[in-house]
Copies of this chain bind each other. A is one copy, B any other.
Amino acid sequence: MEMETWRPVLVFLLFLPSVLLFCNSANAKRSPLFPAFLKAGLKQSSDSGRGLYETRYFTQGLDHFDFTPQSYGTFQQRYLVNDTHWGGKGAPIFVYTGNEGDIGWFAQNTGFMYEIAPYFRALLVFIEHRYYGESMPFGGEEVAYSNATTLGYLSSTQALADYATLIIDLKKNLSSEGSPVVVFGGSYGGMLAAWFRLKYPHVTIGALASSAPILQFDDLVSPYTFDDIVTKDFRSESENCYKVIKNSWKEIEDTASQPGGLEKIEKSFKLCKGQGQGVENWIEIAVIYTAMTDYPTASNFLVPLPAYPVKQMCKAIDNPTAGNDTFARLYGAMNIYYNYSGTETCLAAGGDSDEHGMARGWSWQSCTEMTIVEGGSNNESILPPATYNYTEQAVACQNYYGVAPRPHWITTEFGGHDIRRVLKRFGSNIIFFNGLRDPWSGGGVLKSLSNSLIAIVAPEGAHHVDLRFSTKEDPKWLKTVRTKETKIIAGWLEQYYSDSRST
């Protein structure tokens, strides 16, 4: 198997008018970004949130930083509100800084906020990120996503300014300017939450940034980190499981290149007709996202999965009844990721739904400012061999969108270099949660930076597991994490009210 020189930023671009850039070859292997890029099992994004929230809209400015006539455009930004437990004027407001997708989905997967709201008598607000879900400038997706001229306002700094503007207005409308605001976010949303506290301390008193790889930029992290963690996750369950997956890529390629090979693959994996071509990518996605969502309880974030899905996958692979057939072993594992509900009659390796409307926006963001460092795999990697080549990515992005990435922008605007020194005596009130099973933890803040910039690290945790609704089966360490977070937030609020009285 040849080394790839570039691994694509995205593979799921079904909504994009063209797949020129990322899907132009069978070499397009995987989509190792955020949970965003998934064939997601949830179908609740457009329903009422099962009573979790009311939907509201805010007239938001298109461009906060410029004053061109164009910048005065507006759009309707969606936000979700739950005031069941709100204590009213002056009581806390908990805000989720929405990430790259339909905000309803994030609200439904951030049970932690709901569960602590009664204790704090907090109002819950989930703000949708511009250019995702219903929050579309230029009258809708068709124009907003048509080219760089309209897409150009999709950026993290604009999103943060949206949040500041909306929150200030909301508090004013509630006549509750004195309410302390705490922000919450996971993944990219966690990055936004941390940055929001750093840039807008006058709008929020503190941030819970869960699984936020704010250091996954520029030269701050090795491009192998992500793969290394995926590898470690599987290897920790079983050396054999790791080897079977690692060695499968060659076997798949060898088989596929033989006459009748694709049919054999289709049959082995019970793929729907004509889906054999994408199988390598399909397996890789399952491996990566299982590592990311290796939760200790059954979950339904990206797809329905059992508790400890990495363990379950390895159990299937290590199953002695499967004999020596690599494909049969792998099929058992894939069936866990792609068919845990058991409802699929055949599996679709090539089809992905992007139900939460994430792929298009993140493709743009990762091609402009979110130039995340990831995608190299070394000799030990469980994933197919790949080198990280920023230049090729940049050229591809430039060709596709007509604008070049700005690879140093995120560290210019938000920092990252020398973070321990920089934040040792600057800033306060951020919790950085990371689960070390999460491949994104390699770009996270894993050591506390000061007394109030606190890292919480869960060796057994996966991607923003702390933010999920609790279950009866939650292990002790997870309960401990949530208790710790709750206590820290309580401390911020106490301090706020105490300071407010004294100043």
A interface residue numbers (CB < 8 A to B): 61, 63-72, 148-149, 151-155, 157-158, 161, 164-165, 168, 177, 199-203, 364, 368-369, 402-404, 406, 408-409, 411-429, 452, 495-496, 499-500, 503
Smallest beta-carbon distance A168→chain B, Å: 6
- Minimal Cβ-Cβ distance residue in B for A72: B403
Shortest beta-carbon distance, A100 to chain B, in Å? 15
Given A149-B68, A368-B67, A415-B202, answer yes or no on A420-B155 (Cβ-Cβ < 8 Å).
Answer: no
Answer whether A71 and B152 are a contact pair too, CB < 8 Å, given A64-B409, A66-B158, A409-B64. yes
- Specify the chain B residue showing the minimal Cβ separation from A164: B412
Task: Known contacts A413-B164, A499-B424; decide if A369 and B67 are in contact (CB<8 Å).
Answer: yes
In the assembled complex, which residues on chain B have CB atoms less than 8 Å from the CB atom of A412?
161, 164-165, 168, 203
Copies of this chain: 2
- Which residues on the B side are within 8 Å of A503 (C-beta)? 418, 420-421, 424
Assembly CA distance A495 to B423 (angstroms): 13
B428 x A428 contact (CB < 8 A) = no
Report B-chain residues with C-beta under 8 Å of the C-beta of A500. 418, 421
In the complex the two chains form, what is the Cα distance from A154 to B418 in whole Å? 31
A161 to B148, CA, bound (A): 22
Find out whether the CB atom of A69 lies under 8 angstroms from the CB atom of B152: yes
Given pairs A65-B66, A70-B152, A201-B426, 14 additional interface contacts (CB within 8 A): A65-B155, A66-B155, A66-B158, A68-B151, A69-B152, A69-B402, A71-B152, A201-B415, A201-B427, A202-B416, A202-B417, A421-B496, A424-B499, A426-B427
- B residues within 8 A CB of A153? 66, 68
Q: List 21 A-B contacts (CB under 8 A).
A: A61-B406, A64-B157, A64-B413, A65-B65, A66-B66, A66-B152, A67-B155, A67-B368, A67-B369, A67-B406, A68-B153, A69-B152, A168-B412, A201-B423, A203-B412, A418-B500, A418-B503, A420-B503, A421-B503, A424-B503, A427-B427
> Within the assembled complex, what's the spacing in Å between the Cα atoms of A369 and B64?
10
